[in-house]
C-alpha cells in the first residue's frame, strides 16, 4: 500500500507534465503495480478492479438499481444478489477494497426511513451526512427540502457512487471526501450518521467528537444503528435518546446476521 501511495504522489508531482508523459507514466504505474502485487499479494488494499475500469464504470458494472430496502422512495445502485461480485469469495474479488458504498447499511436504512416519515427534522436545515456510503440518507434530505446537504465520505469511490445515486433520483448533490471527524467549527445545524459504529476505536473517536460538538454548540445529531456493541459500551450511551425503532427487511437481516431491527437515536 505504501509503495502504491508513493507512486500516486509522484504522479501528482508530475501533474503539469502529465499530458506529455502520460503514456510513460501509465506504463510505469502499471509495472510498479504489478511488482507491488507480486510482492505483497497477501495485502488486499489495492482496488485493482476499480482502477482498471475507473470507479464510475466499476460501480455501474457491479451494482444494480434496487428499491428492496426500507426506503423504496429512493432508488439505489447497490450490490445485490443478482450481481456477480456479491457471490465472490474473498480471494476472487480481484483486490477490490471494501465496497461499503455498495450496501445500504441497517443504520442508514432506518435513519433515512425516519427522516422520510418526519420531514420537519430536515426541511430548511443545513445537514452534514457523515459516512454517507451510497448516499441514500443525503439524497432523501435533498428530496425532503433541506436548505443545504453535504454528503461526506472519505472513500472517493463512495463519492462517485453518491453522485450516480443522486442522478438516479433526479437530484444533484454536494459531496466531500474530507475527514471531518474531530472538526468543531462546522456550520451545519444537523449532523446525521448512519451505521458508523462498526469498529471499536473508530466508534470512540466519532462519539468523542459528537459529545464535544454537543457541548460546544447546539446541534441536532441523529444516528441510525442496529445496536452494535461498541456504541453500547461507551460514555455516549447515557446521552442516547431513541426516536424510533424499525424492523429490518429480510434481505437486510440476511446481510447483517444477528440484527433484526435498528433504531434512530438523538444525542442529548
C-alpha distances out from residue 82 to 22, 36, 72, 235, Å: 37, 33, 18, 41
Please give the grid coordinates belonging to residue 198: 462498526
Candidate ranges 87-95, 162-170, 191-199, 254-262; the one touching ligand SAM (CB under 6 A) = 191-199
Q: How far is the CB of 46 from ligand SAM (least distance, A)?
A: 16
Q: Could you say which of 25, 32, 181, 214 contacts ligand SAM (CB under 6 A)? A: 181
Q: For residues 112 and 143, what is the distance between their CA atoms, to the nearest angstrom?
A: 11
What is the x/- site pattern for ligand SAM, positions 91-110, by CB under 6 A?
---------xx--xx-xx--
Minimum distance of ligand SAM from residue 242's CB (angstroms): 18
User: Does 179 engage in binding with ligand SAM (CB under 6 A)?
Assistant: yes
**Three cell numbers, residue 111:** 435513519
Least separation in angstroms between residue 93's CB and ligand SAM is 17
Pairwise CA distance, residues 58 & 61, whole Å:
5
Task: Decide: is 159 part of the binding site for ligand SAM (CB under 6 A).
Answer: no
Half-sphere exposure of 90 (CA within 13 A, CB side): 5
Backbone angles phi, psi at 241, to 5 degrees: -125, 120
Min dist CB 29 to ligand SAM, Å, is 24
Q: Please name the residue ranges forming H helices in the chain.
A: 2-13, 18-39, 48-53, 55-62, 106-117, 136-144, 156-168, 200-216, 229-233, 250-255
In this complex, which beta carbon is closest to ligand SAM, that of residue 20 or of residue 229? 229
Half-sphere exposure (Cβ direction) of 217: Cα atoms closer than 13 Å? 15
Residue 245: enclosing H or E segment and its boundaries? strand 240-247
26/200 with CB nearer ligand SAM: 200
CB of 178 to ligand SAM, least distance (A): 8
Considering the complex, state which of residue 92 and residue 199 has its C-beta at the smaller distance from ligand SAM. Answer: 199
Number of residues that bind ligand SAM (CB under 6 A): 22
Give the binding range for ligand SAM (CB under 6 A) out of 32-40, 54-62, 66-74, 128-136: 128-136
Provide the 8-state DSSP code for 248. P
Residue nearest to ligand SAM (CB): 108
Cβ 201 to ligand SAM shortest distance, Å: 12
**What does the block give as the cell for 214?**
454537543
158 in contact with ligand SAM (CB under 6 A): yes
Binders of ligand SAM among residues 192 to 231 (CB under 6 A) are 194-196, 198
Residue whose entry in the numeric block shows the C-alpha cell 476472487 = 92
DSSP reduced 3-state for 230: helix
Binding residues vs ligand SAM (CB under 6 A): 100-101, 104-105, 107-108, 130-134, 152-155, 158, 179, 181, 194-196, 198
Amino acid at each position: 500500500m505504501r509503495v502504491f501511495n508513493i507512486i500516486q504522489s509522484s504522479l501528482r508531482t508530475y501533474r503539469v507534465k502529465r499530458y506529455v508523459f502520460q503514456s510513460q507514466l501509465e506504463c510505469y504505474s502499471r509495472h510498479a503495480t504489478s511488482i507491488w502485487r507480486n510482492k505483497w499479494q497477501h495485502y488486499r488494499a489495492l482496488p485493482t478492479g476499480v482502477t482498471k475500469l475507473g470507479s464510475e464504470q466499476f460501480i455501474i458494472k457491479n451494482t444494480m438499481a434496487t428499491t428492496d430496502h426500507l426506503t423504496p422512495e429512493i432508488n439505489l445502485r447497490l450490490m445485490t444478489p443478482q450481481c456477480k461480485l456479491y457471490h465472490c469469495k474473498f480471494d476472487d474479488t480481484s483486490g477490490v477494497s471494501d465496497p461499503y458504498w455498495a450496501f445500504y447499511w441497517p443504520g442508514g436504512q432506518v435513519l433515512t426511513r425516519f427522516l422520510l416519515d418526519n420531514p420537519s427534522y430536515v426541511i430548511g436545515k443545513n445537514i452534514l451526512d457523515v459516512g454517507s456510503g451510497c448516499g441514500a440518507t443525503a439524497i432523501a434530505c435533498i428530496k425532503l427540502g433541506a436548505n443545504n446537504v453535504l454528503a461526506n465520505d472519505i472513500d472517493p469511490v463512495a463519492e462517485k457512487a453518491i453522485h450516480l445515486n443522486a442522478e438516479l433520483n433526479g437530484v444533484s448533490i454536494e459531496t466531500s471526501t474530507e475527514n471531518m471527524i474531530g472538526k468543531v467549527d462546522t456550520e451545519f445545524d444537523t449532523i446525521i450518521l448512519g451505521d458508523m459504529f462498526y469498529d471499536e476505536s473508530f466508534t470512540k473517536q466519532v462519539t468523542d467528537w459528537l459529545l464535544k460538538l454537543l457541548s460546544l454548540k447546539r446541534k441536532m445529531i441523529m444516528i441510525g444503528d442496529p445496536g452494535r456493541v461498541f456504541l453500547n459500551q461507551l460514555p455516549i450511551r447515557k446521552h442516547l435518546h431513541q426516536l424510533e425503532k424499525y424492523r429490518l427487511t429480510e434481505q437486510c437481516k440476511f446481510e447483517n446476521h444477528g440484527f433484526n431491527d435498528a433504531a434512530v437515536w438523538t444525542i442529548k
